[in-house]
Amino acid sequence: MDDPARIARLLLESATTMTTTGNARAIVVSVDALPELEGVPPRTVLVVRSELDRPDVEKLEASALAVIDVPNVELDRMGQVKLAAIIALSNRILQLEDSAVFLTGPFRSLIDSLVVMTIGAEYELFNAADQPEIDEHIKRAVFHRVLTLALQLGQHGREGRKVGTLMVVGDHRRVLEQSEQMILNPFKGYDEKERNLLAVHMGETVKEYSTLDGAIIIRRNGVIDTAGARLKSGLSEGLPSGLGARHAAAAGITSTTKAIAITVSQSDGTVRVWRAGKMVASFEPSHR
């Protein structure tokens, strides 16, 4: 069987059957990974990675359950599944303990794999089903923006150099109480509108300051309070082996506050999301 389009259609048929008979919540698939179609099965969540895919979305969204946007970063098959799952979860399209059928394939190529997952049951994806909703204390757009910047840094670094960084989002007053400046605060004195992460120009600014030691601390609405901050709390107990001080700080600050922390590993670019003292997701960007 060497016809990629035929394989993709067969997988879509199989996913439809499994969704119906297995009572799965949704089929989740990237628009750019689908063969030419006039419509998609009921309960399909369309994943959009690029504005170039908007014409296909417009053609298919009438038959879809929902459309979600994810960062356009190259990931392997399971990375694509995990990213779609965490964005769908933060958008409350999927809930913890929902079952979903994920269709995936090589980045920006037709689907060739099918994964059935119960959200919350996979250790490497969501390590704690008893945690609050991801967007309970943080604006959804802010979480998506921070995750996008982290994935871009993980894959591309900064000006050709690998970057390790820590960004802490939400519950900023308590986070600031448990931190101290290692350098002069580069964001001090600027109007809140000028230092809001959702402003287009702030993406490059955050990437530049991500090269500093210490954490970037961001409010739930996207306003950046500081960069180059040392977090006083650390939590090494239960930390996966091989993870260092940056990850211990992320675990520690999220165990004592309602913040979410996102880390980028300098060694391999792996992006990890931390919540309530635990790693809830990890993404290993592909490098060509």
Identify whether residues 154 and 273 lie together within a single domain.
Answer: yes
Q: Identify the pLDDT of residue 10.
A: 93
Q: Same domain for 153 and 279?
A: yes
Residue 21 has pLDDT above 60, yes or no: yes
Could you tell me what percent of the chain has a pLDDT over 90? 62
Task: Give the structural domain span for 235.
Answer: 140-283
Residue 255 lies in a domain: yes
Asked if residue 146 and residue 269 are part of one domain, the reply reads yes
Cα gap 47→83, rounded to integer Å: 10
Residue range 143-185, pLDDT digits in tens: 999 999 999 999 888 887 888 999 999 999 999 999 999 999 9
Specify which residues 165 forms β-bridges with.
264
Q: What is the total count of domains within the chain?
A: 2
Tell whether 114 and 163 lie within a shared domain: no
CATH number of the domain enclosing 217: 3.40.1700.10
> Does residue 237 sit in the same domain as residue 168?
yes
**Mapping DSSP to helix (H, G, I), strand (E, B) and coil, where does residue 164 land?**
coil
pLDDT in the model for residue 129? 43
Q: What does pLDDT average to over the chain?
A: 88
Q: CA 263, CA 16: separation in Å to the nearest integer?
A: 36
Residues 131 and 121 sit within 8 Å (Cβ to Cβ): no
173 and 79 in a single domain? The answer is: no
214 in the same domain as 92:
no
Continuous H helices in the chain: 4-21, 54-60, 77-90, 140-156, 172-177, 202-209, 245-256
